[in-house]
Amino acid sequence: KAGTSCGLFEQLRSDERLAVSETDGYIVDVIYDEASERLFSLAGDIKGGLSIFHLNMEAAEYVTKIPGSGHTAVVRSMLPLASGSGSSRFVSAGEDGRVCIWATKSLESILAGEEDDVPPVQGSKWNQ
């Protein structure tokens, strides 16, 4: 039955690494890593910062912060793109009007907290 295996991660939003002044963080997306068979959450702060947490049914465990997200406001979505030549690519979009394309060695290296610097390789800002 749908929704019967849901975890409750209220503490994730109030994690001190996501707090900016009086404002809590938020969940942007959830990533399932087939290689490790683990579930992760991409969480953000109101200034565009992004962090990754490992999720299990009991808790959310901090993994790493993604430095230099390329965003200056809330990130609303992150989508994996087809990867090739041993790298992974993602696209993110935020309330700052930016859409950023990311390249990294592998999703596994980010999820394991092994990449210290994952800057966006391309960013564009669209104005309405």
Q: What angle is formed at CA 97 by the lines to CA 63 and CA 32, rounded to 5 degrees?
A: 30
Longest dimension (CA), the chain: 43
Q: What is the pLDDT of residues 28-38, one digit of tens each?
A: 988 887 777 88
What is the average per-residue pLDDT within 55-59? 83
Question: What is the pLDDT at residue 105?
Answer: 59
Q: According to the model, what pLDDT value does residue 34 have?
A: 79
The tokens describing 60, both together, are 């959310």
Specify the pTM: 0.75
Asked if pLDDT for residue 114 goes beyond 80, the answer is no
Residue at token pair 């900016």: 20
User: What's the pLDDT band for 107 if we cut at 50, 70, 90?
Assistant: low
Residue 47 has pLDDT above 80, yes or no: yes
pLDDT 10s digits, 60-97: 899 888 777 788 999 999 887 765 555 567 788 999 99
